[in-house]
Amino acid sequence: MLTLAPRRRLASSVSSALAALVLTCTPAVAAPAAADPPAAVGTVGVPDFARITQRYGPAVVNISVSGVRQVTVGPETADPTSDDSDADSMQQFLRRFQQQFGGSGASMQVPVRGQGSGFIVSEDGLILTNAHVIASAHDVVVKLTDRREFRAQVLGSDKRTDIAVLRIDAKQLPTVKVGNPTELQVGQWVLAIGSPFGFENSVSAGVVSAKGRSLPDGSGVPFIQTDAAVNPGNSGGPLFNARGEVVGINSQIYSRTGGFQGLSFAIPIDIALKVQQQIVATGHVSHGLLGVTVQEMNQALSEAFKLSAPMGALVLDTLRGSPGAQAGLLPGDVILKVEGRPIAAAADLQTLVTLAQPGQHLVFDVWREGRSLRLEVTLGDAGKPVSLPPQPPRDAYLQGHFGLQLRPLLPAERLAIGVVEGVLVDVVEGPAQLAGVQAGDVILAIAGKTVATIDQAREAFKASGGTVALLVQRGNERLFVPVRPAEAPR
């Protein structure tokens, strides 16, 4: 069976943890050229898919890859979802070797072979495909529908968007026509050309099931969801609209079995072309970095934050030293707009930042504690580590006498916990740890005195003069914890 290896298991938020996003693959077969398909096709009736296939099928190519992959097997390590039979056999050998002779692990380079698809976007040999199709490949061979074969040069690839750009040494090649995916409507016809399971030049049709789908792969790509049959072997192949224009690149399926189950996902072609331009110009791709973690808003949260409707992206956390933190974004902020563009869902923010460039200046409309404000953010580079500022100084008295590092509660934390006052235990050691205090506990009162700031906490500890009773909230429970101070550090 001719399939490309990588397959990613993901827990389904709808049904069960057995569901999986599967990276797929593709090729094509020669067909006689024909006149262009109709310039426009309405939503009534079925488009002439035969003419689209005849006209643009020759621009779809078969990609064969070979290379090596490092396989490491420990006592409990293996990849049960791998499609690579060579790698699986080697893992089984290494496991048997380990069981017989012992050892902490074994590794070996094993051959990797796979097939995928791509399509020609320029007459001089520029080809788009998926990044996972050519991952770990040393040799990439492109086969045209007229049976000519070329060794391809990988100009570059981008794992985040799963786009790769190849070039072959050929001229006057057939090309696809590029469409506008923003004009696609849910329910419109689409066509996929590829080689599922190695069956070359297979054509499947379906409709657009949804647009702007966010998948739990962290890519930030707003996928086009369709019900066109896409299987292992289809990756990198084009998704055509009813006019015969490429609107996407088939990339993933959602499946419990590894085969098509009615859900396939394509990368919008406009995103792929932006990646292509960067790769052709520089050989690599840069993505913007905000450095915040966000979650979806729902009705209950919108009421809690006094919003008129569930909208925007709720900030859960900010990475210290990140562009978002430097711009003043705080946990509990709701990002409603970026550059005047409404953020309807958390995925909208992720997509916008992913496709932006490092150094780009963006204006954020933020909802904070019942009022609107604007923040200017200069995005960082997702490909570079964030330079962290120095840690704030520790409170010497609390650290030395009780082994505590405290910080004030953030507005979002107060709302989630349901408290007005209190300080959070950030780090615990020494006497407090021995007494049972845990990191993440919220200290509501010290020796009967409520506290809301670090200064108040320090003064309450000092006033106790000995063993002090802490009123702690841990999850939904409250309890008193007596803590005996250590001797003052010398």
User: Cβ(474)–Cβ(483) under 8 Å?
Assistant: no
Torsions phi, psi of 116, nearest 5? -155, -165
Residue 218 clears pLDDT 90, i.e. is over it: no
End-to-end CA distance of the chain: 72
Query: 414-463 pLDDT, tens per residue?
Result: 766 778 889 999 889 989 999 999 988 999 999 889 998 888 998 999 88
Max mean pLDDT range (39-48, 242-251, 290-299)? 242-251
Residue 38 clears pLDDT 80, i.e. is over it: no
**Averaged pLDDT, 312-331:** 88
235 catalytic residue (yes or no): yes
Provide the Cα torsion 205, 6, 61, 140; round to 10°: 180
User: Cβ(264)–Cβ(250) under 8 Å?
Assistant: yes
Query: 103-140 pLDDT, tens per residue?
Result: 545 556 667 778 899 999 999 999 999 999 998 888 99
132 catalytic residue (yes or no): yes
Please list, residue by residue across 56-91, b when 16 or more beta carbons sit within 10 angstroms of its beta carbon and e when fewer do. Answer: bbbbbbbbbbebebebebeeeeebeebbbebbbebb
Predicted confidence band at 232 (pLDDT cuts at 50, 70, 90)?
confident
Could you tell me whether strands 238-241 and 288-289 are parallel, antiparallel, or unpaired per DSSP bridges?
unpaired
Residue 11 clears pLDDT 70, i.e. is over it: no
Q: Which of 100-104, 173-177, 262-266, 391-395 has the lowest mean pLDDT?
A: 100-104
pTM exceeds 0.75, yes or no: no
Active-site entry in 83, 84, 158, 162: 162
Max mean pLDDT range (12-21, 251-260, 476-485)? 476-485
Of 275, 177, 255, 181, nearest to 224 by C-alpha is 181
Active-site entry in 83, 84, 132, 157: 132
**Length of the chain measured in residues:** 490
- The pLDDT > 70 percentage for the chain reads 79
DSSP H stretches of helix in 135-254: none
User: Cβ(437)–Cβ(482) under 8 Å?
Assistant: no
Spatial distance between the Cα atoms of 191 and 236, rounded to a whole number of angstroms: 14
Active-site entry in 235, 251, 255, 264: 235
Predicted confidence band at 82 (pLDDT cuts at 50, 70, 90)?
very low
Of 308, 279, 371, 379, nearest to 339 by C-alpha is 379
DSSP 114-157: EEEEEEEEETTTEEEE-GGGSTTEEEEEEE-TTS-EEEPEEEEE
